[in-house]
Amino acid sequence: MLALEVKNLIKSYGDVAAVKNISFQIRVGECFGLLGPNGAGKSTTIEIIEQIQKQDSGQVFYFGKPPTEALREQIGVQFQETALLPRLTARECLEVFSGLYSERIPVPELIKLCQLEEFADRYHEKLSGGQKQRLLLAIAMSNRPKILLLDEPTTGLDPQARRHLWDIITNLKTAGATIILTTHYMDEAEALCDRIVIVDHGEIIAEGEPRNLIRSHLPEVIVEMPLSERVTSDRVKNLLPNERVLILGQRLQISTKKLDQVVRALSDAHIPLDGLHVRQPNLEDLFISLTGKALRS
Ligand SMILES: Nc1ncnc2c1ncn2[C@@H]1O[C@H](COP(=O)(O)OP(=O)(O)O)[C@@H](O)[C@H]1O
Ligand SMILES: [Mg+2]
């Protein structure tokens, strides 16, 4: 059963073609990721789904049907920025929002679900970034939504607060929520999403399960080493004419299916191997290989 279907969405703001022709389907219970760099069109897509923006053309179907007013109540939205009334505690914010809905999760349950206990009675203005995001997530959950839309829920959080939010999102997923989230963190998409689309310049450039996508596009392993006087791009490219060699900042990257031969060639040429690091490719590598640029540029 499909929770959501997006068909041939197109949206421009004046001259800016924000969403060029985006289609995807999301099954009930799935955690679906829209992954892409800043300006890719993620928020525009999400806002069209939320009915905050009107598309120029294309359709959105919720549980197989076109949108209705009643549907708004079944969608939970966590905005990138949400204006909360001043001088309210976290608990009071939740009470205000859940008062708007007929179908709702009781406030104490929301507090537990999103782990707000420790600061529930603090003014929301005093919360840390991670605490604020957990509150916004609880607000998004307050109408017991069938579909939860999260637009960059962890942007700007420190690593620990991000992990904490991942745990909560994982709990919501386990509880059966259908989740759509946007992110420009590839590790986040890999950790949370059953399926993703990668968007760039308003278009989908890849779609699938994160692991399968990586495996099918990038069967290689990645060898990384710091650049130095003895490890230069020219030298390595000459040594390994058949491998893909990339410079990223101060590091050199070799993508290869023949790890043994690569290491042997480097070693035979007396290239120091101390800083050498071998790893599996990730979504960031996939993005770079598809677009030629880094995800967080
Ligand atoms: N309200 C707006 N008016 C004009 N241009 C906009 C507006 N919102 C977004 N854009 C532009 O549309 C493109 C896609 O933006 P957005 O959907 O916010 O991308 P993302 O969320 O992936 O960063 C960008 O080029 C952005 O500058
Ligand atoms: Mg955005």
Structure tokens belonging to residue 32: 């679906």
The pLDDT tens digits for 124-137 are 999 998 899 899 98
CATH of the domain at 61: 3.40.50.300
- Atom of ligand 1 minimally distant from the CA of 38: 23
Ligand 1 surroundings by CB, under 6 angstroms:
13, 16, 18, 36, 38-44
Ligand nearest to the CA of 35: 1
DSSP string, 178-214: EEEEEES-HHHHHHH-SEEEEEETTEEEEEE-HHHHH
Mean pLDDT of the chain, nearest integer:
91
Question: Which structural domain, as residue segments, surrounds residue 252?
Answer: 219-280
Whether residues 148 and 100 share a domain: the answer is: yes
User: pLDDT tens digits for 152-194?
Assistant: 999 888 898 899 899 999 988 888 889 999 998 989 999 999 9
Give the Cα-Cα-Cα angle 211, 75, 58 (nearest 5 degrees): 75
Specify the number of domains making up the chain: 2
125 and 80 fall within a common domain: yes
- Quick one: which ligand is closest to 47's CA? 1
Q: What is the DSSP string of 49-72?
A: HTTSS--SEEEEEETTB---HHHH
Same domain, 257 and 170: no
Residue 149 parent element (H or E): strand 147-151
Task: Identify which ligand lies nearest to the alpha carbon of 79.
Answer: 2
pLDDT score of 257:
94
Domain of residue 259, CATH code: 3.30.70.980
- The answer to whether residues 30 and 167 belong to one domain is yes
Same domain membership, residue 223 and residue 182: no
pLDDT at 211: 92
The reply to whether the predicted model has a pTM over 0.75 is yes
Ligand 1 atom closest to Cα of residue 14: 4
Tokens encoding 96:
């205000």
Residues with C-beta atoms within 5 A of ion ligand 2: 42-43
Shortest-distance atom of ligand 1 to CA 34: 22
Do 7 and 148 fall into the same domain?
A: yes
